[in-house]
Chains A and B, each alone.
Chain A
Amino acid sequence: MDTVFQILSDELKAAFRGGVDEPWSDERFGDLAARVFEYQLDTNQVYANYCRKRGSMAAAYSDWESIPPVPTSGFKVVPLVSGDAASVERVFRTSGTTSGGVSRGEHHVPDLDLYRASLVPNLEKHLYGGDPLRLLALVPSPEEAPESSLSFMLGEALDMLSDGDGEFFVGANLGLDVGGLRVAIETACTEDQPVLLAGTAFALVHWLDATAETGLSFELPTGSRILETGGFKGRSRVLSRPEFYEALSTALGVPASRIVNEYGMTELLSQFYEPVLSDPPDPEDPAVGALDQRAHFAPPWMRTRVLDPVSLAPLPVGEEGLLCHYDLANLGSVMGVLTEDLGTLDAKGGLRVFGRVDGAEPRGCSLAMDDLLSGVV
């Protein structure tokens, strides 16, 4: 790693250690963003060429919102490394098929410590809150799935927040160890050890389905909580969010108010969480418990723009558009990422993500993307 990277990375780590409680001023975020952008232009030739074609060079920098984002598809076609490619410590890959020319997105990460510095305080704030939790993870372990950013994240949670107390219950082949998880839950109940049950929504549904067949249900120790993420991705039956949380509550004795959704993506090293544990809603508020009232929040080192889907011009607060995130933890790749997600941002910075499909019927009569993705091609 070059010196400039090291200096910036150290400065970011120190800033991240300040935690996620206090929002950053525009000036503080903007200053760091300007320096990260300048570093990325200097050291990432592909990104620099991309920006040049848009007439956006450092000289044209006015504020972080003028930094050209790279669409998530860009991560599929070129390695996006800012700095020395030889110093990349890990390549994380998006899930999904590699057949038929649909390649997986790659996030090249030169400094895993910077990744850790971002994810740990965020997880600590929104899930652990200083409590000693046993981690029961419904993802493969980081050793079995070194390319999975979610496995990496939960591996860090296990080491740094659960003191090594916990286990992974999905194999490298994505098989779920239903019996092993049941035993671990029973043990936690016997020991009265609160747990963090964390996994992809589809893995949780698989486990719920397998458990339903046995007729068993559990009452996890008080203080237990659930982290779910990633949606169903066509890999399990699809439940509405209320149905899903109701089923989790019934099977595990964890109320919906202690179930947290994470919104993250391989292309971003920082994550969004719903602050239902860290900042519980006022119990007098009639909207409490309404899942559709929930919003996600970013750590102060990540900001989001909501853009008009066609023109990519910024939209006023509250209007629905494409989400474009700027994550300072992405120092070693590119900071601005244009997603395919539609959502809104409220005045308090609360993000609501509506997903990639609005239920409308596609208009294309020619071959559709889903046919391609389903491996027909």
Chain B
Amino acid sequence: MERTPFDAACFPGGFEPEAQWEDLEAEPGVAVRYPVLDDRAWTELIENLRVSGEALKERPVRELVDSIGRAAERLLDPEDSLRGEALNWLVPTAGLSAEMADLVLTGMAKDWTSDRLTELLEREFRVPEVLDEFRVLDSGRKLHAVGSDLSFHVGAGTVPGVSVSSMIRSLLVKSAVLLKPGRGDVVLPVVFARALAQVDAGLGRAVAVVYWPGGRSPAEALALRESSVVVAYGGGESVAALRDRTPVTSRFLAYHHRVSVGLIGRDALSGANARQTASAAALAVSTFDQRGCVSPHVLYVEAGGSTTAKEWAGVLAEAMGELENAIPGGRLTPEEASLLHQSRGAAEMQEASGDEVAVHIGDRGSWTVIYQESSAFTLSCQNRVIYVKPVPDLDDVPQLLADVGPHLQTVALSGATDRRQYLATVLGRTGVTRVTSFEGAPWPPPWWHHDGASVFAGLVSWVDLEDE
């Protein structure tokens, strides 16, 4: 059955360009379509956004928080048709199961509410009104934080909603936003932009979401030239290509691909504890079908507990199976499926050759636990393929991660209660920027230091007003 295509664009209120629309297949019978604008329409769009960005500067930040929060509430309300529409389209466009789409939308949108955003601003700026006017801050300094008139965001498309968080950060500093979402993340930014326009026309006029395929294009060149802040998510190559084309006078914020790991201390491996840790780890691995930068690829299990790493891999496999029943994995692209077969096959051949390898595969095949005695870091092909490796002591892990240092992000740590701070210190020196629990791993709070920096760093310019 054919569905009407989803429009992968939301223009600012009042701007209605003439556009050709092109279809892209999301899954058989389901398409999204994107607009092809001519140069003149792009120029007008950017001019529109710039003017709306200037208008935002006149509005109190707390008013903006309130409006954004109301838009978020709509996406959290099970009765709201916008939430229904978002969930309905997330499944085919992001390749997630309905259950996972529900979990992801709820998990993401709860951090877009006014309470959470207020807390974010208060933690980051202490006095959020510093975004409205000069305020006297620490030791009597007079400061004002000013957002750019226009920011250009390029999403990765991996985890739905990440680009909405990025959009919100810019709106909070009163910057208009042109967002090009990644192909797997077209739905939430479009739906959120529409919600914003409905609750607050001024904010709606300051946001444009437009998908277009591929990289270099006249639109991209224009957007890079006209935006004083560029925020880029994606693979090394695509982020580097954007950086190379960004004017030196613009700020460039790079969120390149990252990997995360899990650590399980020997004190987390006793009977019931081992099962509890496994359940939490299974959820951390399976959330976003492991496509998040926060998703663990390898779980290092410390020796000396009452469950060995190899045994615990079996416990984890059970937990992965239970989770699969509750929140199934999503649809795989042919490329992803091929990678999965190759990963499993390589591990099964190792197992068959008598290496210390044990492969657990779910009945319906949507998860894979690979125990390997070799403790070298192994990159998972994602989609719920997790490596479990033994280490004599968690102290050994930083060295094992040395080679992936520039790509490291989150470490989920279970147990090692008495060594937590020490481990975080040594892990931090290898490049890890966040140490958390398995429960917390998929959901960093809004005020986290995203890849090690304040989320507003780069989005605002500080103006210092010194004494006469």
Contacts and interface: CB of A to CB of B under 8 A. Distances in A.
A98 to B, nearest CB: 14
A357 B339 CA distance: 12
Interface string A126-153: 0000000000000000000000000000
A377 B407 contact: yes
A371 interface: yes
A27 interface: no
B257 A309 contact: no
A102 to B, nearest CB: 9
Given A363-B333, A366-B257, A377-B379, A46 B403 contact: no
B41 to A, nearest CB: 24
A367 interface: yes
B361 to A, nearest CB: 10
B367 to A, nearest CB: 14
Interface stretch (A6-14, A74-82, A224-232, A242-250): A74-82
Contact of B345 (A49, A73, A356, A371): A73
A365 B260 CA distance: 11
A46 B351 CA distance: 9
B426 interface: no
Interface string A201-245: 000000000000000000000000000000000000000000000
A368 B259 CA distance: 9
A371 B346 contact: no
A71 B350 CA distance: 12
B362 interface: no
Contact of B260 (A76, A77, A342, A366): A366
Interface stretch (B105-113, B153-161, B265-273, B414-422): B153-161
Given A53-B348, A377-B403, A357 B335 contact: yes
Interface stretch (B29-37, B46-54, B199-207, B292-300): B292-300
A358 interface: yes
Given A46-B352, A101-B378, A367-B407, A72 B342 contact: yes
A102 B406 CA distance: 18
Interface centre among A76, A101, A309, A369 (most CB of B within 10 A): A309
A48 B350 CA distance: 13
B346 A370 contact: no
Interface residues of A, number: 46
Contacts of B352: 46-50, 53, 78
A285 interface: no
A146 to B, nearest CB: 25
B109 to A, nearest CB: 19
Given A47-B352, A50-B348, A73-B343, A322 B338 contact: yes
A4 interface: no
A109 interface: no
A312 B234 CA distance: 30
A122 B290 CA distance: 45
A372 interface: yes
Interface in A143-170: none
A158 to B, nearest CB: 34
Given A49-B352, A78-B353, A360 B183 contact: yes
A189 to B, nearest CB: 42
A35 B33 CA distance: 53
Contacts of B94: 363
Contacts, number: 155
A324 to B, nearest CB: 10
B381 to A, nearest CB: 7
A361 interface: yes
Interface centre among A53, A365, A369, A376 (most CB of B within 10 A): A365
A367 B258 contact: yes
Nearest to B94: A363
B429 interface: no
A76 B157 CA distance: 31
B337 interface: yes
A76 B346 contact: yes
A118 B354 CA distance: 33
B334 A377 contact: no
Interface string B109-150: 000000000000000000000000000000000000000000
Contact of B376 (A48, A101, A371): A101
A83 B95 CA distance: 44
B349 A371 contact: no
A46 B156 CA distance: 41
A71 B342 contact: yes
A33 interface: no
A342 B334 contact: yes
B235 A309 contact: no
Given A361-B157, A363-B336, A370 B235 contact: yes
Contact of B235 (A71, A311, A371): A371
A365 B345 contact: no
Contacts of A374: 236-237
A65 interface: no
Given A365-B156, A366-B258, A368-B257, A309 B338 contact: yes
A178 B54 CA distance: 60
B182 interface: yes
Contacts of A78: 349-350, 352-353
A338 B345 contact: yes
A367 B349 contact: no
Nearest to B341: A71
A376 B407 contact: yes
B194 interface: no
A376 B403 CA distance: 9
A310 interface: yes
**Leading 8 A-B pairs by shortest Cβ distance:** A365-B158, A71-B345, A49-B352, A73-B346, A309-B334, A309-B337, A74-B349, A73-B342
28 contacts: A46-B354, A47-B352, A53-B351, A72-B342, A77-B350, A78-B353, A309-B332, A310-B365, A311-B365, A312-B341, A340-B342, A342-B338, A360-B333, A361-B184, A363-B157, A363-B333, A364-B158, A364-B257, A365-B156, A365-B157, A365-B258, A365-B291, A366-B258, A368-B236, A369-B381, A370-B235, A370-B237, A371-B237
Interface of B: 94-95, 156-159, 162, 182-184, 213, 233-237, 257-260, 290-293, 295, 297, 332-339, 341-346, 348-354, 365, 376, 378-379, 381-382, 403-404, 406-407
